[in-house]
Structure 1
Amino acid sequence: MNVIIEKFNKEDINSIEYIWNEVIDEGESFFWTEHFSNSKVSEILVNQKAVYCVKYNGQVVGFYILHDNFPSRGNHIANALYAITKEFRGKGIGKMLGEHSIRTAKECGYKAMQFNSVVSTNIASVHLWESLRFNRVGQVKNAFTRNNNEIVDIYIYFKAFF
């Protein structure tokens, strides 16, 4: 598979908007229920430490955004959001993005990464973060409502770099 990861450029915005909204519609991992407009996605991307896209034959099929998990005294811990278009899941792209984001977080000076809301029924994400040696440090009961109205837990994952 001819897959590369490269920094976001403005020509990628429509693909990112499409993928982001596709994940929202699935209702299995993002808390949002309403679609994001192109301008809203652009506004979010401007405020990130890093934005990278994974491309297959030049087409954006996934992305991640990297930012501080906490403000001020907690800004040494990174947080990130990841999304891959449905047809490219299960092909190792999530792992590529995860590994890349860890390297990028370290390059940005972060001392750790934390994910505050990995949905417990999102088995692919749970498996991915555990395979990348993130520790499950917390669980919030009944914190997420799936599209089918089932209420499930979310997990908090943490990985120290020091």
Structure 2
Amino acid sequence: MGLSVEKYSSADLADMIRIWNEVVEEGIAFPQEELLDETSGREFFAAQTYCGVARLDGKVLGLYILHPNNVGRCGHICNASYAVSSESRGLHIGEKLVLDCLEQAKLHGFGVLQFNAVVESNIHARHLYERLGFVQLGTIPRGFRMKDGSCENICPYYHEL
């Protein structure tokens, strides 16, 4: 069957919640601290402009969420987050998710995809984003509180669509 990225369905929710919570629990990439349960997860994913899932031979290995970064005069800028299950990392699933997200962002009428808080030490994500044409806007000192309580710099990025 091979790797595919497609819109999520309700049948994917349990895997999506598990993968999302895994990243939240790691405490080194997402700003969220609260875990999703079945109810909050269903509501969270339904509230996004678009959610894509990466499947390999029918199994969900990763996902992304896409939504406006702001409202009104800045509503043409979107934001996204990506999560890949720990057992699937290193298989270039993140790249497939980001590429699909760029296409979906265009299809949904956005003009810019912006990442507000890429943790500076997340070098794999940063290299991927830069390879795909994202531009770093600068560095925000101590902008992310890690799970251990220490703070790390964050690097905002953008990509014109």
Task: Give 1:55's aligned residue.
Answer: 55
Q: List alignment gaps of at least 5 residues for structure 2.
A: none
Match of 1:118 in 2: 118
* Equivalent residues, number: 161
Runs of 4+ with >6 A deviation: none
Report whether the alignment pairs 1:151 with 2:151: yes
Deviation for aligned residue 1:105: 0.6
TM-score (norm 1): 0.94
CA deviation profile, 1:47-83 (whole Å, cap 9, x unmatched): 2111110011111110011111111211111111110
Residue in structure 1 matched with residue 94 of structure 2 by the alignment: 94
2:34 equivalent in structure 1: 34
Q: How far did residue 148 of structure 1 move? A: 3.3
Cα distance in 2 between the residues matched to 1:31 and 1:133: 24
What do the CA deviations read for 1:95-114 (whole angstroms, capped 9, x no partner)? 11111100111111111110
Give the secondary structure class of the aligned counterpart of 1:63. Answer: strand
> Which residue of 2 is the match for residue 24 of structure 1?
24
The amino acid across from 1:7 in the alignment is: K
Partner of 2:104: 104
Cα distance in 1 between the residues matched to 2:64 and 2:23: 13
Tell me the C-alpha RMSD between the 2 structures: 1.3
- Hey, what's the Cα distance between the residues in 2 that align with 1:5 and 1:157? 23
Residue identity opposite 1:89 in structure 2? R
Q: Match of 1:14?
A: 14
Compute the displacement of 1:33 (Å).
Answer: 2.3
The answer for the alignment partner of 1:82 in structure 2 is 82
Structure 1 runs not aligned, ≥5 long:
none
